[in-house]
Amino acid sequence: MSPPRRKKAASRAPVPEPNDEFWDLRLYVAGQTPKCLVAFKNLNELCRTHLAGRYRIEVVDLLEEPQLARGDQILAIPTLVRKLPEPIRKIIGDLSNTERVLVGLDLRPQA
Amino acid sequence: MTADARSRAERAASPRFVLPKTPTGIEGLDEITGGGLPAGRPTLVCGSAGCGKTLLAMEFLARGALERGEPGVFMSFEETAEELTANVRSLGFDLERLEKDQKLLIDYVRIERSEIEETGDYDLEGLFVRLGHAIDSVGAKRVVLDTIESLFSGLGNEVVLRAELRRLFRWLKERGVTAVITAERGDGQLTRQGLEEYVSDCVLLLDHRVDEQLSTRRLRIVKYRGSAHGTNEFPFLIDDKGISVLPITSVGLQHPVSDERLSTGIPRLDAMLGGEGFFRGTTILASGTAGTGKTTLAAHFADASCARGERCLFLSFEEGVEQIARNMRSVGLALEPWLRKGLLRIDSSRPTAFGLERHLTTIHRAIAEFDPRVVIVDPISTFVGGGTAADAQAMLTRLIDFLKSRQITAFFTCLTGGHEHLEQTEVGISSIMDTWLLLRDIELAGERNRAVYVLKSRGMPHSNQLQEFVISERGIELLDPYLGPEGVLTGSARVAQEARERAAAAEREQQIESHRLTVDRKRRALDAHIERLRLEFEAEQAAAERAIAQGMELEKAVATNRAEMARSRRASHGGAAPATRKPNPNKRARRR
């Protein structure tokens, strides 16, 4: 297949606030399975709510780019990888439990 | 032949369906599995930590790549590619090179529970994609998953995991790869997570036991669907050439048999063994207490083999090469020339240095390398110390079967303990020996002397004599046996007996001589007597002849006188003159 396609699902925020970190997220899927579609939907909603303007989501379809599974140690599908900010975190599943995802991403709203 | 009979015959002749198998290339494993692991199916290898699962799996891949040209994928859940590479480098496998040649792909799957958060439904499609990609990229025929149970500790949703594992093994079968899946031994079941439920074609169980400070690894085929397999536990070991499994009695009793005889190296011992020595390809046991000359006897046999130009492997478990050579030199056996010529090889090691299986494999290897016709093990009794007696016997049986299948003559020495039940101690091994020489100490008259006898020797008439021998600078020499009232006479008792016999012999000699003289004298007396009689007879004969001659003279004279008287008287005839008659007493003459 022709060059790997990475869907840029969200754009960089025009002017990130200096204190805020930039979030680089990567969602691994394997085809358009219901689980993957749910995960993608959940992720988009979550980011819009909590990371407006300072995130990027890259979707990797392993059926098209299987070689990428090795690099990020992907086993489960779907897997969300937080590349930035460091350290790397992984969240597997369809991201249906928003609370768990926020914990997993260290995005719990600060009190 | 009727059509029915023909079809039956064809059915019988046509090969039965044989499950296709993938040779592992691991020494011995292919023998006991009847050709290898089931081709295109997954095999479960389970065992506790450190029993060699990973190594077996890696050797399966490496040998497949090197010897069969079948590329492989190693998916490791425990060790990184670097660690694996380093671990098997000591076994002579260069994984880096195999990877470079696209013969092997190692994929390290890292699962760190602390890094992973689970939210909602998922599956393991990522693993499938990875494995599928790895298989495709090298065209793998063999796959290893080591140890897939790690998933259970890394991921929490057991329901999903089990469903996915079931799918994975089915998927592996569909891909047609021969897979080895390793798993940890669990309590009460073969694997901790019950993987045997999913992988049911072939299950191998590895075990690592320590008995009396010596460890033994064992392998057992728990199940092999669609194939006959041995159910025994097979010892195996891991050394610098990888894994080797030792099949137990794989040859059974179908040994080739030879009528050829081999000299023991001691002529008079040959004489005890039907006059010609041992049969080729048989096993000989020389047992005895300490210092009865077992090693020397073995060295004689080794020397004789080398002198015939046959290679001899001497496995010593008590002495080093130098020491044996020196000791044998002192009894007139020069082994160094044979060592130099490469006809003799002496391997020394401590029996307790390794377990029995290790020894057995070492011996197998040495035999494969050196290809000897004669193997000497000195002594085998030390193996009994290197494991339980049953283990030692099993090992010896395997060794003997192996040697017999190769028509190698085996000479074992065995150290026996005290004096009581001397023969009893070796009952276990004696039945597998063809010839048994018993070396004994005989204590008599304050001395200790050595004697040998043939306790058994299959297939030949052998001496029943207990024969004394001495070890001198000319080696072992058997002496004439002397039987006294207390049994065999040895040492100085024998010397005294010899002296007595010599004295008796001298006496007999004298008697014979005197008899001879008497006869001689008598003959001479008789001769003299005959001579005297003959002389008497001759004298008488001479006298008689003289008398006859005189008589005849007289007769003639008488006749002459009568004629003259008649002439002178002319007239009367009756005037015979009696006066002229001599008073001759010769009556014979007168009667005439």
Average pLDDT, 10 consecutive residues per value, chain B (592 residues): 49 58 86 86 88 89 90 91 88 88 90 82 90 92 89 85 90 92 83 78 85 73 81 77 69 69 88 87 86 88 91 89 89 90 87 71 82 89 65 77 84 73 56 84 79 85 83 84 64 77 88 93 94 94 93 90 83 51 52 47
Is B454 found in the same domain as B306?
yes
Pair of tokens at residue B95: 């994984």
Predicted local confidence at residue B584, as pLDDT: 55
Q: Which residue of B has its CA nearest to A104?
A: B117
In a domain, residue B340? The reply is: yes
Of B115, B126, B155, the CB nearest to A62: B126
> Computed over its alpha carbons, how large is the radius of gyration of chain A?
14
pLDDT digits (tens, 9 = 90+) for A45-90: 888 888 888 889 999 999 998 888 888 888 899 999 988 887 888 8
In a domain, residue B2? The reply is: no
pLDDT digits (tens, 9 = 90+) for A2-46: 444 454 444 444 444 445 678 889 999 998 889 899 999 999 988
In a domain, residue B109? The reply is: yes
Predicted local confidence at residue B389, as pLDDT: 67
- Flag if B126 and A77 touch (Cβ within 8 Å): yes
Cβ contact B222:B340 at 8 Å: no
Predicted local confidence at residue B386, as pLDDT: 53
Pairing of strands B142-146, B178-184: parallel
Per-residue burial over B325-354, b = 16 or more CB atoms within 10 Å of its CB, e = otherwise: beebeebebebeebbeeebbbbebeebeeb
pLDDT digits (tens, 9 = 90+) for B108-126: 988 888 878 888 888 999 9
Please state, in angstroms and rounded to a whole number, the distance separating the CA atoms of residues B90 and B88. Answer: 5
In a domain, residue B9? The reply is: no
Predicted local confidence at residue A2, as pLDDT: 42
Residue from B205, B219, B227 nearest B41 by CA: B227
Residue to test with chain B: of A46, A75, A102, most B Cβ within 10 A: A75
DSSP letters along B256-323, please? -----EE--S-HHHHHHTTTT-EETT-EEEEEESTTSSHHHHHHHHHHHHHHTT--EEEEESSS-HHH
Is B297 found in the same domain as B180?
no
Pair of tokens at residue B582: 């001599």
Contacts of B120 in chain A (CB under 8 A): 38-39, 93-97
In a domain, residue A24? The reply is: no
Structural domain count, chain B: 3
Please state, in angstroms and rounded to a whole number, the distance separating the CA atoms of residues B31 and B251. Answer: 11
CATH number for position A59: 3.40.30.10
Last residue of a domain, one of B446, B465, B488: B488
Structural domain count, chain A: 1
B110–A contact, CB cutoff 8 A:
yes
Predicted local confidence at residue B528, as pLDDT: 94
Is B477 found in the same domain as B496?
no
Cβ contact A44:A100 at 8 Å: no
What are the residues facing B43 on neighbouring strands?
B180, B202
Predicted local confidence at residue B439, as pLDDT: 87
Number of A to B CB contacts under 8 A, please give it: 97
Residue to test with chain A: of B99, B111, B118, B129, most A Cβ within 10 A: B129
In a domain, residue B61? The reply is: yes
In a domain, residue B251? The reply is: no
Cβ contact B438:B453 at 8 Å: yes
Pair of tokens at residue B278: 């041992």
Is B483 found in the same domain as B361?
yes
Pairing of strands A7-8, B242-245: unpaired
Closest-CA distance, A14 to chain B, in angstroms, reads 31
Please state, in angstroms and rounded to a whole number, the distance separating the CA atoms of residues B394 and B354. Answer: 16
In a domain, residue A40? The reply is: yes
Mean of pLDDT over chain B: 82
Contacts of A35 in chain B (CB under 8 A): 121-123
Predicted local confidence at residue B43, as pLDDT: 92
Instruction: Kindly indicate the confidence band of residue A111, based on its pLDDT and cuts at 50, 70 and 90.
Output: very low
- Flag if A69 and B121 touch (Cβ within 8 Å): no
Cβ contact B60:B67 at 8 Å: no
A83–B contact, CB cutoff 8 A:
no
- C-alpha distances (whole Å) from B275 to each of B143, B269, B270, B592 are 62, 8, 5, 90
Of B115, B117, B121, the CB nearest to A88: B115
Please give the residue range of the domain that contains residue B28.
20-245
B476: exposed, middle or buried (Cβ count in 10 Å: 0-12, 13-18, 19+): buried
A92–B contact, CB cutoff 8 A:
yes
Side by side, which strands form the sheet with B242-245?
B104-108, B72-76, B142-146, B178-184, B42-47, B202-211, B214-224, B233-239, B242-245
Is B241 found in the same domain as B267?
no
Residues 50-69 of A with CB under 8 A from B: 62-63, 66-67, 69
Please state, in angstroms and rounded to a whole number, the distance separating the CA atoms of residues B543 and B534. Answer: 14
Please give the residue range of the domain that contains residue A70.
31-104
Predicted local confidence at residue B253, as pLDDT: 57
DSSP letters along B407-425, please? T-EEEEEEE--SSTTTTGG
Predicted local confidence at residue B586, as pLDDT: 55
In a domain, residue B384? The reply is: yes
- Element housing B220 (H / E): strand B214-224
What are the residues facing B75 on neighbouring strands?
B107, B145
Is B483 found in the same domain as B526?
no
Give me the residue label for tokens 């043939």.
Answer: B454
In a domain, residue A25? The reply is: no
Contacts of B159 in chain A (CB under 8 A): none
Is B223 found in the same domain as B131?
yes
Predicted local confidence at residue B252, as pLDDT: 53
Cβ contact B253:B432 at 8 Å: no
Is B151 found in the same domain as B52?
yes
In a domain, residue B574? The reply is: no
DSSP letters along A43-107, please? HHHHHHHHSTTSEEEEEEETTT-TTHHHHTT--SBSEEEEEESSSPEEEES----HHHHHHHTT-
Please state, in angstroms and rounded to a whole number, the distance separating the CA atoms of residues B339 and B346. Answer: 8
